[in-house]
Structure 1
Amino acid sequence: MNRILSILGLALIPFLFSGCFSSGEKNTPLPKLGNWHIDEKTVDGKVIQDTVYHQIADFSFTNQDGETITKTSVEGKVYVADFFFTTCPTICPIMKKEMLRVYEEYADNPDFKILSHSIDPTHDTQEVLKDYAYKLGIEDAETWNFLTGDAEKIYEIGQTSYMTTAQEDQAAAGGFLHSGAFVLVDQNGHIRGVYDGTKTDQVDQLISDIPKLLGK
């Protein structure tokens, strides 16, 4: 007999985003964020409890170099995910300026990646993303992947896996609605921190939290 206990976590992020979901202390382990449940079952007469944490779902997108990037591509890696579009007239330029700081800090670490998902894949083709990355000073996708693909799949993984706002909205500036969230994901696909990518102090916290997962 299974007994499931569920706790709601990241669904509230769009409303609570003024706070950073991370551990502030230098040596404090980062929490695992999102929905989780305790799966309780009886095996050989013994009650066994297993905590099942929220994980990023399978995905398959194309980066600026035309390479297919999947969940397998980042298995065993620490990465930061965000959502943007190249013609964004509001927060995206600030986010990319802040993400550049993260990139510059960890670009040489083979165990670290950045996944930036375009929420306007119709316009943001591989070629457009390649040019966008080049203008930011990113000449290859070794560390920082700018992703395009099926729009509905991008919106779905943004909202259900990364628990952030990512959708088309004609009423929004530029025709798309997204948060400024930088989502920190560990080697097993668990969300370990959410940071406001438009605020320097929260990105500073992200930069200091990443080594807690890298073990360095």
Structure 2
Amino acid sequence: MKKYIGQSIMAITSAYLLFSCGPTERKLPIYGERTPVEKEVDGKKIVDTVYHTIPDFSFLNQDSTLLTQDFFKDKIYVTNFFFTHCPSICPTMQRNLLKAYEKYKGSNKVAFLSHSIDFKYDQPSVLKDYATKLGVDNDQWQFVTGSKADIYGIAEKYMVYTKEDENAPGGYDHQGYLVIIDPDKRIRGAYDGTDDEQVKKLLEDLDVILAEYK
């Protein structure tokens, strides 16, 4: 059974959100499947946890250049799924993600990645024009396209629902989550990109995770 981040966000948050005595020491939860693994350390057997991680990927970006996970090495990034002619949630979601981009613009620790789910229309030149009109003027925010199998496949790894649907507005159905990925490729947060309070929390949580990886 496929799991999407909206189905498990409350349970995982309550189970794994860690607090210490001081608010500055708060850490974000880790989402996704986890597997206990037994290993030997200094002659003693211990049980470690292997967490769900985002696999290697390769997509064509707005500059017609192949973008891989290497671009995000040692970075925290926020990712989402959209399409340029989306008539429903995308305009609001992208404007709200722009707030995060503008707050962290110039940082070498934070990046952004938007995947187009319209593999037919959203070619690099279309994505480039879209990014420019949105107000993105550096490579800190990447817009990518790929085959249907690759884009929809990676969406499942981010636990975000995407589907080609002729009955949906614009022909595609998808969730509007903004998902935080840490430098270890783990999912650390998911926020409704159409909700102002959720976007405010995203900005707060980015500060939290930046402190964790400072």
What is the TM-score when the length of structure 1 is the normalising length?
0.87
Tell me the CA shift for residue 128 of structure 1: 0.2
1:64 corresponds to 2:62: yes
Cα separation, 2, equivalents of 1:59 and 1:175: 25
CA contact 1:84–1:92 (8 Å) conserved in 2:
yes
What is the TM-score when the length of structure 2 is the normalising length?
0.87
Cα separation, 1, equivalents of 2:141 and 2:71: 12
1:147 corresponds to 2:139: no
SS in 2 for 1:51: strand
1:26-175 → structure 2 map (5 Å cutoff): 27-41=25-39, 46-140=44-138, 142-159=139-156, 161-175=157-171
SS in 2 for 1:123: coil
CA contact 1:118–1:148 (8 Å) conserved in 2:
yes
> Taking structure 1 as reference, are residues 202 and 27 closer, same or farther at Cα in structure 2, changes over 3 Å only?
farther
Cα separation, 2, equivalents of 1:126 and 1:111: 25
Q: Which amino acid aligns with 1:96?
A: Q
Cα separation, 2, equivalents of 1:12 and 1:82: 13
Identical aligned residues as a percent: 44
> Taking structure 1 as reference, are residues 44 and 210 closer, same or farther at Cα in structure 2, changes over 3 Å only?
closer
CA contact 2:4–2:161 (8 Å) conserved in 1:
no
> Taking structure 1 as reference, are residues 40 and 129 closer, same or farther at Cα in structure 2, changes over 3 Å only?
same
Tell me the CA shift for residue 56 of structure 1: 0.5
Cα separation, 2, equivalents of 1:20 and 1:97: 28
CA contact 1:80–1:182 (8 Å) conserved in 2:
yes
Q: Which amino acid aligns with 1:206?
A: L
CA contact 2:12–2:29 (8 Å) conserved in 1:
no
Cα separation, 2, equivalents of 1:124 and 1:190: 27
1:214 corresponds to 2:210: yes
Question: By percentage of residues, which structure has more helix?
Answer: 2
1:184 corresponds to 2:180: yes
Gaps of 5+ in 2: none
> Taking structure 1 as reference, are residues 171 and 26 closer, same or farther at Cα in structure 2, changes over 3 Å only?
farther
Give RMSD over aligned pairs. Answer: 2.5
Cα separation, 2, equivalents of 1:44 and 1:30: 30
Cα separation, 1, equivalents of 2:205 and 2:183: 14
SS in 1 for 2:59: strand
> Taking structure 1 as reference, are residues 47 and 112 closer, same or farther at Cα in structure 2, changes over 3 Å only?
same
Paired position in structure 2 for 1:204: 200
CA contact 2:34–2:50 (8 Å) conserved in 1:
yes
1:193 corresponds to 2:185: no
The 10-residue stretch of structure 1 (164-173 or 91-100) with the greater mean CA deviation from structure 2: 164-173
> Taking structure 1 as reference, are residues 26 and 43 closer, same or farther at Cα in structure 2, changes over 3 Å only?
closer
